[in-house]
Structure 1
């Protein structure tokens, strides 16, 4: 079995290696190709050397190849995973800092930052797919690159490729967090997930097959019961709001339900520790210093601070289930196919699926509850318009996407932020320009 990881020089890669090592008996990867761009070659070599030491220590017969030649790597691949960031953390810093200047949330996958990450990422994903159509037409594309929902949407709308699964560690993080709050093992917990990427809800929660939704909502209402992630400030939830909502929000919902608080938190953090991108830059520097240690042959525990907890479990479990036709249930981003009644059938959704050798089969839930339906539909509209803007490089479509995003308060502010970000990111947005009439 040949697996290719594009963005192989990522600090997350040791997570992936650990996941493949743990599953080698059921997922016998013979070749793992780590691919990066020439500018990332130093990191690729550092991570690749650690990966080889990890495999050697585990005594697993997995050959690891490092290359900046994507086409060479893709030839006859069985699975391709993507985990890259166009423009690196410097681009993320712009995504976060420019909106903040204008009093708008600055976040890498939500609001203006999410739009621009999508505008930079989608053309690259579509280029990768064109290579896959030629070089490995039977491979599965497992996309972990954010914004994963928008990227999956773009692939469905603007290519003929259907063997793609978008993946996120938020649902597995929620399930593990619930298990921790309840003091039980995670394999006893199941959650009915439905919604969109970074906009997914837990519609019900089960312990040993019995619904415990009300109990979990009560726990979330307590000061120490909130579920969050390393990259999102834990502001807790108002007990009355959570009880009224009657479903579990994900950590990213704080940007929509607690916008003012999150904005103030980001502004304060930017003054002291810096934006999240700046914090991560320091974390990455420390991680790569660790990775260079020739005596290190395991995934270092410091990687958990990076914010990618359970990434390898999510990615490797998905690949394992497709490869072995396990027919287990996992939450992934895939085509809706009527599973959520109020979302178009041909749109990408994040939902529990039965994972088979033919890919994910979404489990129908009917419709989303009325209190959350409108917000999900608004974000889906944003994703569709944004993905079209990314493909057409159309200024007006980008302005429309920016304006309809609920985190942007007005068309005037949307235009100012859009123009500034287009200028700031022009190196990674070839073919884009601001029309004279817009200026």
Structure 2
């Protein structure tokens, strides 16, 4: 087979390498072309060198090109994969820093909440530019695979406004299933069968079967509470499981910022989180992790390049959906996964226009979703709160309506639990002004926002959050990795 895959935001080096090696684990795909594009020439050249080394080491006919000219990369592409972070870590730092001034403590801030909503405002105009290019220069009927957060908002914009065949992809379901299999004592993940449905990052394991035996709430609660690690790392998730009756796919830290109950009081936050790793609820944890990862890659790049010379190991193909979807579409080997698509009747008690995440099967006829799923009422209610925020956020991003943007932030569950309307109005003004260079749709609103900020009487605070850690130096990271290696 010979076709072209374009990867936008390919400077996300580690993730691009994973997608690349996964796809090359499929024997029929050795003769395809990867077109890498990014706004950073520096990052592009680093990842191209790594991928070229993999191709050379494995004596493959695979072609790899790299360009900052996005349209050139998209020309003739059958598949387009996006893993972009518009504004980079600079804008992301504002997504965490500014809400903290108003008492809003986020762990990740890339899905909803104040940070995730502004992240969507930066991404959506760019996503629509991608869609325009795909329609104009890619292969007719090209499929757009979006990995970028905020997943639901980006996918919603691409489908509703971009008019491109789009699917959103995430690995939260797989990771949650791995945890469940472990606590239940499964010998392999294949022993666990499940139906997981909801919206991205709020997906629920509504049916669990271990070797055909149905697993109920009480058994699952007991298994998690008995686990020596998860009982401490996933306290909030276990509490939600006890109250809702089903387990959420999302990590302790992520889930905590989508709900109005666990992060609204600083003295309560530390009760529900765990500081053993960023993902369990640390304030700005993913920002710290991302910053350290970038610094580590820049410093240790020669080691990454050397590692690329090793032969491909097909057994290490990851469970990221992209390679499996492409394999199913091109070879007709059926794949079952969980995909983000427009609802349209798939989940009966969520809105038709929402982007949902639910089970589907892929073959040469496309992605075929299992329809007629009904969520438990509490799960649906929690999803609905986020969907309403997502819908307003998408429409605000497309129209540049700053008043609608403020209403979207006001209706966010955690923001609403912490902040007053006056605080929300000022916070959004401050975030739009700080990120104006990435928000072209709000250009006309920025002068008035600046004027309001100059006269505002709303008090803010200098607060690092309830559980903030500093970014570690390369020396500290190296010492920690050495210690872990020696201990392991």
Q: TM-score, normalised by structure 1?
A: 0.88
Displacement of 1:239 in angstroms is: 5.3
Secondary structure of the residue aligned to 2:60 is coil
Whether the aligned pair in 2 keeps the contact of 1:273 and 1:279 (CA below 8 Å) is no
Partner in structure 1 of residue 469 of structure 2: none
1:337 pairs with 2:344? yes
Distance 1:159 1:388, change over 3 A: same
The structure with more radius of gyration: 2
Find the aligned partners of 1:75 and 1:239 in 2 and give their Cα distance.
48
Q: Report the CA distance between 1:69 and its aligned residue.
A: 1.0
Q: Tell me which residue corresponds to 1:202.
A: 205
- C-alpha distance in structure 2 between counterparts of 1:310 and 1:171, whole Å: 17
**2:423 aligned with 1:413:** yes
> Who is 2:246 aligned against?
247
Contact 2:389 2:408 in 1 (8 A): yes
Give the RMSD, CA atoms, in angstroms.
Answer: 2.8
1:97-138, CA deviations, whole angstroms, 9 ceiling, x for partnerless residues?
Answer: 211221113322230111011000011111011011011232
SS in 1 for 2:84: coil
Q: Secondary structure at the match of 1:345?
A: coil
1:397 to 392, 395, 404: 404
Which sections of structure 2, spanning at least 5 residues, go unmatched? Answer: 311-315, 453-488
For residues 174 and 92 of structure 2, the distance between their equivalents in structure 1, rounded to whole angstroms, comes to 24
Given that 1:45 and 1:66 are in contact with CA atoms closer than 8 Å, whether structure 2 keeps it comes out as yes
1:151 to 2:154 alignment: yes
Query: Equivalent residue of 2:308, what SS?
Result: coil
Aligned partner of residue 203 in structure 2, secondary structure? strand
Do the aligned partners of residues 420 and 370 (structure 1) sit closer, same or farther apart at CA in structure 2, a change above 3 Å counting? same
**In 2, are the aligned partners of 1:403 and 1:411 still within 8 Å (CA)?**
yes
Alignment of 1:224-263 (within 5 A): 224=228, 226=230, 234-237=233-236, 241-249=240-248, 250-251=250-251, 252-255=254-257, 256=259, 257-260=261-264
Mapped partners of 1:310, 1:392: distance in 2: 41
Shift of 1:316: 1.4
TM-score, reference length from structure 2:
0.79
Report the alpha carbon displacement of residue 59 of structure 1 after superposing the two structures with TM.
Answer: 2.7
1:378 aligns with 2:385: yes
Deviations 1:390-422 (A, max 9, x none): 100111110111011101123223212211110
- Does residue 430 of structure 1 match 2:435? no
Do the aligned residues in 2 keep the contact of 1:20 with 1:29 (CA within 8 Å)? no
Contact 1:86 1:428 in 2 (8 A): yes
1:7-406 aligned at under 5 Å gives the runs 7-11=9-13, 12-23=15-26, 25-28=27-30, 30-37=32-39, 40-106=40-106, 107-136=109-138, 137-161=140-164, 163-181=165-183, 182-214=185-217, 215-222=219-226, 224=228, 226=230, 234-237=233-236, 241-249=240-248, 250-251=250-251, 252-255=254-257, 256=259, 257-260=261-264, 264=269, 275-293=285-303, 294-297=305-308, 313-406=320-413
Secondary structure of 2:414's match? coil
Cα distance in 2 for partners of 1:180, 1:55 equals 36
Seen in structure 2, the aligned counterparts of structure 1 residues 78 and 28 have a Cα distance that, compared at 3 Å, is farther
Q: Tell me, what secondary structure is at the counterpart of 2:194?
A: strand
